[in-house]
Amino acid sequence: MSSTENKYRRYDLASGSREITIADGDMVSINLGAECAEGERVVSVGRGAKVVLAEVCGEGSAKSALILRLAEGSQVDMTAVYLGEGGDVHHRVELAGADAEFEYRALYIVGGEERMNLALDVRHEVADCRSSEIVKGIAAGTAKGRFSGMIYVAPDAQRTAAFQQSRNLLLNDRAEIKTEPQLEIYADDVKCSHGATVGMMDEDAIWYMRQRGLDEAAARRLQMMGFAADVTSHIADEELRSELEVLIDRKLDSLN
């Protein structure tokens, strides 16, 4: 959906807005803001509507909850990036109408003694819906990250297609990331899967880059930026994407 961003109109959030309703058939782009919002927000997406959604936390501690409700034939493409001081974030997605589609990419980076908890609950309540999620974390120092991912498929939600992946990078042996993918499936005609990896830097890739003239620090930085770019490169808003690249670079500097 991001490739058609030029067809989307920007949705301007009212100050302090907690409930957002997208009309049937509308095509909108929503930036939930560069600050870490507190409290619960609800976005209801009308029938056949298409939404490109970005949630970015560049500073402070994220303490927020977001509920997305998708009606029949609606599509939501969401990118979430957390570069502040960690926090506690909960996202709940309710696919409540047939042929609804949800795509999600998230990145968090923590260092020092920061803590980050990201929970994602995707609920397939009716038949013929699709969801795909990838969540990536980077941790340094003695920081701790945690991702809890649930895919729920209701008894009548036949022909569900749901995929979830968690990929995580530890910059030293003191940092820690836990990932808890879960499937709760009550229908029998489904395609659902999840996967999770937690590992250190790819030393072979670093060696390869050093053979081509990069010093070790530059090679490691390039690998981290590439890891993050799997998420940020999907943001169609060029201005927001450029701002994120600066914020990520600054956050990675703080980890050294």
Rounded to whole angstroms, the Cα distance separating 229 from 54 reads 15
Contact residues for 25 (Cβ-Cβ < 8 A; gap 6+): 46, 47, 48, 49
Tell me: the pLDDT tens digits for 61-81? 778 889 999 999 999 999 999
Average pLDDT, the chain: 86
Residue 108's alpha-carbon distances to 84, 138, 193, in angstroms, are 9, 6, 22
Cross-sheet strand order for the sheet of 101-110: 9-10, 27-31, 50-57, 75-82, 101-110, 130-139, 160-170, 190-199
Global pTM value: 0.88
- The pLDDT tens digits for 150-195 are 999 999 999 999 999 999 999 888 999 999 989 999 999 999 998 9
Lowest average pLDDT, out of 123-127, 130-134, 136-140, 210-214, goes to: 210-214
Q: Convert the pLDDT of each residue in 228-246 to its tens digit.
A: 888 888 877 788 888 888 8
Percentage of the chain modeled with pLDDT above 90: 55
> Hey, is 172 helix, strand or coil?
coil
How many whole angstroms separate alpha carbon 125 and alpha carbon 122?
A: 9
Quote the pLDDT of residue 43. 93
